[in-house]
Chain A
Amino acid sequence: MNHLPLIIKREYLTKVKNKSFIVMTFLSPMIMIALIAVVAYLSQINNNKARTISILDETGLVSDVFKNTENTTYSILSNISLDEAKKQVKVKEEYGLLYIGKSSDTAQITNAIKFYSEDSPSLTIISSLENKLEKKLSDLKLQQDGVDIEKIAASKTRIDIAQESFTGEKTSKVDNILKLAFGGAAGYLLFMFIIIYGNMIMRSVIEEKTSRIIEVIISSVKPIQLMMGKIIGTSLAGITQFVIWMILGGIMVFVLSAIFGIDMAQMQTPQQEMMQQAMQSPELQNEMQNVMVAFFKLPILNLVIAFMFFFIGGYLLYSSLYAAIGAAVDNETDTQQFMLPILMPLILAVYVGVFTVIEDPHGTISTIFSFIPFTSPVVMLMRIPFGVPIWQQVVSLLLLIGTFMFAVWFAAKIYRVGILMYGKKPSYKELYKWLKY
């Protein structure tokens, strides 16, 4: 008799109807969004605070670079001593005082610049001031040496090396960044999915043991059916949760930005001021177009299909191991010793993905790890956007499926024996013995 659909249905419904599952499903995106909103709101308040910075420029050379912006007012002081200026700034409760000391030589001015303030000033403010001064002073130096600034500005050149493979495929830097983003997202998603829902499967196996229902169930269905039903049912619940998170997240970002008007464009930080200036340039608009072009150049079909296969394969491989762990122990605290060997290859995969695939997607290490079944789902998913030959994908997938089948066999053995063992925490040696029962 095939009870698999029945078991899947029960596993799915109990997971989905579980109170803590429902709470987590609806609460966690809210918490996430709320957290982001609070951080964004706070930094907005911080940056929107109007501040006045007094400038005492004894050289009279640089004060013209300080132009008022929406949040920052520069008040240029003159005919006043440093001590008096300090006092004045303190009384007026201004943000701080920028002092440019007198110096005969432009080269020496750099050493005579100081910023006085009540509290230590923010890093962004200081670096924004530094940028302004640096630019002005180097211009001044160039002028002193008789160089025409206009000519230098005109001579500025921007290079984007066009990349092309021997078969005529064109790529660019933008392409690579986009590929990394896609591969990284896919690999990381799989990693998270395995950890969250693998644990859920493990807990549900332990629950059946501790509630002692297992022997009743096992007299009606084959252990492997129960195990597969658990894995599939829990995965479906996981997918449901993920989809709800994405939809909710989308809605909440939309709603929140409408209500609170937390809009990127309104957030004026000193960096963004610079960014905005840069945005006006034609090169960047060109860049945006490049991203779109690059997106459509990605092997999208390959990516989607490979994502499905590697995701499912990798997830099933790991979750069958989680199920075996659940069967081997009596309670969650005993799972620790068995968790490490599962987590190690998974973490290794993410490290390899992050450090070597970025550096060299088709290098020896990346290639090898994209074949080893325990790391291949994550590493291969990260490599595929860079174009992996189909034969490599197929071989890796076959290896993964083979290992998966072995893992299911292994897990089913452990599961079959373990679910009826109570009261003792098995060692690895005992697990090995169970395989032969």
Chain B
Amino acid sequence: MNDLLVANSVSKSFGDFKALNNVSISVPKGSIFGLLGPNGAGKTTLIRIINQITMPDEGKVLLDGSPLKPSHISDIGYLPEERGLYKSMKVGEQALYLAQLKGLSKQEAKERLKYWFDKLDIGDWWNKKIQELSKGQAQKIQFIVTVLHRPKLLIFDEPFSGFDPINASLIKDEILQLRDEGATVIFSTHRMESVEELCDHIALIHKSNKVLDGKLTDIKRQYKTNTFEVGMQPQRENAQAILKAISEKFEVKPATFKNLNDDLKLNIKLAANETSNDLLSFLTSKAEVHHFVEVIPSANDIFIQTVKNN
């Protein structure tokens, strides 16, 4: 039992529209799980099912081994994409109310809020109304409210929208710290660089179906094309000859990367039975090699490629 959350062939239709078709995911304990997909793919529906906002038509969702039940509400913290707060309510009152809805006692909620308000340096906002805060400031409150009851499972839908880079990195660090303290995080976003940075597992949903899932490193391994980025410094008169020689043996495309020298820059794709050492020894026999890197597909590449192919 290493998975905190397991969704088993979950389907959901709204009228004639099938929002989720037989989707299964497993979220390992203590992981940051990226739930990816284009707009309208069904991510939000799945998240709402996990939050028991909508009921699935078919399939089961297990949290910590047992089917979802009302008491699980206090085990989950959810930061929706469409989020907001009561505009005319005071920050403190509002945070207390939302914490109590998650099952905290008033006293407990107060103490924890004080801790978080000090930590994020916003203690003097307690008596302000939400409408007096900026968007980013309101987002901070929203983040605190989401994590205050120390849920086992945190679900963040586009958590960084509305934050400036400083606060975004502050929140990113908080998320990582929560993970280190034992929380499991489901992270839904369109910003692939943050997926790259944070997620260790991903699942990709496209047109209501899950099209890809697993460990991010495994997926990358699976998507890599055995291509290497090479930079060489041949003598000027030999350059054409060397390029010709390489092209005869391997599949070659010109490459661009930043380098100090006026290099011959190439993307070289190997056949399945060739290794990087084969390539490297061949290249070193021709000229001096300055740059030799395996091309690893980015999450962005994988996302675009998968969505296009389906």
Contact = CB atoms under 8 A, between A and B. Distances in A.
A281 interface: no
Contact of B86 (A14, A219, A437): A14
A18 B88 contact: yes
Contacts of B53: 215, 218-219, 420
B156 interface: no
Contact of A219 (B14, B78, B84): B78
Given A219-B76, A433-B15, A437-B15, A1 B70 contact: yes
Contacts of B85: 211, 213, 216
Contacts of B102: 220
A67 interface: no
A94 to B, nearest CB: 63
A3 interface: yes
A237 to B, nearest CB: 15
Contacts of B119: none
Interface string B35-74: 0000000000000100111000000000000000011011
Contacts of B101: 3, 6-7, 217, 220-221
Interface string A9-37: 01000100010000000000000000000
Nearest to B142: A216
Contact of A211 (B70, B71, B76, B86): B86
A236 B73 CA distance: 28
- Listed residue (B53, B71, B142) with the most chain A CB atoms within 10 angstroms of its CB: B53
Contacts of B103: 1
Nearest to B149: A220
B233 interface: no
Interface string B72-105: 0110101010111111110000000110111100
Contacts of B84: 211-213, 216
A120 B74 CA distance: 79
Given A213-B85, A420-B53, A436-B15, A220 B80 contact: no
Contacts of B71: 1
Interface in B266-299: none
B100 A216 contact: no
Contacts of B70: 1, 222
Contact of B97 (A1, A10, A219): A10
B23 to A, nearest CB: 18
Contacts of A10: 97
Interface in A406-437: 420, 422, 433, 436-437
Nearest to A217: B101
A313 B74 CA distance: 34
Contacts of B52: 219
B14 A216 contact: no
Nearest to A419: B53
Contacts of A14: 86, 88-89
Interface of B: 14-15, 48, 51-53, 70-71, 73-74, 76, 78, 80, 82-89, 97-98, 100-103, 142, 145
Interface of A: 1, 3, 6-7, 10, 14, 18, 207-208, 211-213, 215-222, 420, 422, 433, 436-437
12 contacts: A1-B71, A1-B73, A1-B74, A3-B101, A6-B97, A10-B97, A18-B88, A211-B85, A213-B83, A213-B84, A213-B86, A216-B80
Which 4 residue pairs spanning A and B have beta carbons closest together? A212-B84, A220-B101, A215-B80, A211-B84
